[in-house]
Amino acid sequence: MNKNDDFTMVYQDSAAGLTLLLLHGFPLSSAMWEPQIEGLGEIVRVIAPDLRGLGESDSAEPPYSLATLADDCAALLDALTIDDPVVVCGMSMGGYLAFEFYRRYPERVAALILTATRAGADSEIVKKGRDIAAADVHANGVAPLAGRMAQKLFAPAVHEEDPDLVTFVTEMMADSSINGVRGCLAAMRDRPDSTPDLAAIAVPTLVVHGDQDLIINSAEAEAMADTIPGAALALFEGVGHMVNLEAPEAFNDVVQTFLQMNFGDEDVNEE
């Protein structure tokens, strides 16, 4: 638990060594990183915060901005006295936040892992959709939004093959606070276009995506990986938006290989 002014942030933490900061998607929580905390927590120190208003962190009044969320994460690292640069792994909204964190704190970033995310900003139509969703959540609570999102988060086959996973993620979303959901919708709506920044990214970068992602087309991930100097791309077949939960072992394997290639055995423990 980290107390910063009037804001208390809850986070999960694993071991010592190179730090991997896991930034969850919308409207999820650090619980979405369960297989990574378990699997990768053995080889690096994994920190997985619940972003403002989501999971068990405080639900401050909306709207939020990506700048505020990035500052929350920097304050968490400060509170944990983690001064060395960290590997920032962001999923979807967490990827938008990873770009913002890198813009604001480039010296704190050792590498980027961009998972099921995009560099572009929202179109005007998508911005309007965010406002409609925020009004709906204000009036009707989070459950209807969680139900609608659950239809799009997974590769189509997952609904039949792994209904427990769909239930786990749907309940995680439905548990989000109304403030947190509205706040993060505003943060995503107002985020800047990160596309012009891609060619200047100067840290090792891994792009991970599923070819059945119904929220962000894999072509966007391919274009992103083509533009970021030296970026690696891991494209998983038959996998949707929740790539780290739909293919947890394959996801952990590519991340482990990426970490070992870029940081060697001194910083990354053997399993």
Reported as half-sphere exposure (CB side, CA atoms, 13 A), residue 233 has a value of: 18
Output the smallest distance, CB 269 to ligand MLT, in A.
30
137 sits near ligand MLT (criterion: CB under 6 A):
no
The verdict on 92 binding ligand MLT (CB under 6 A) reads yes
Q: DSSP assignment of 189-255, as one string? A: HTPPP-GGGGGG--S-EEEEEETT-SSS-HHHHHHHHHHSTT-EEEEETT--S-HHHHSHHHHHHHH
What 8-state DSSP symbol labels residue 27? T
Q: How far is the CB of 26 from ligand MLT (least distance, A)?
A: 3
Q: Does 113 sit near ligand MLT (CB under 6 A)?
A: no
Q: What is the DSSP letter of 43?
A: T
Q: Which is nearer to ligand MLT, 134 or 188 (CB)?
A: 188
Q: Which tokens belong to 38?
A: 């378990």
Q: How far is the CB of 27 from ligand MLT (least distance, A)?
A: 8
Q: Which residue of 18, 22, 26, 207 would you call a contact of ligand MLT, by CB under 6 A?
A: 26
Report yes or no: 28 and 2 within 8 Å, Cβ to Cβ: no
Q: Among residues 165, 215, 235, 250, which is the contact residue for ligand MLT, using CB under 6 A?
A: 215
The footprint of ligand MLT on residues 149-168 (CB under 6 A) is: none
The Cβ of residue 1 has, within 10 Å, a number of other Cβ atoms equal to 9
Nearer to ligand MLT by Cβ, of 93 and 268: the residue is 93
* Contacts with ligand MLT, residue ranges (CB under 6 A): 25-26, 92-93, 188, 215
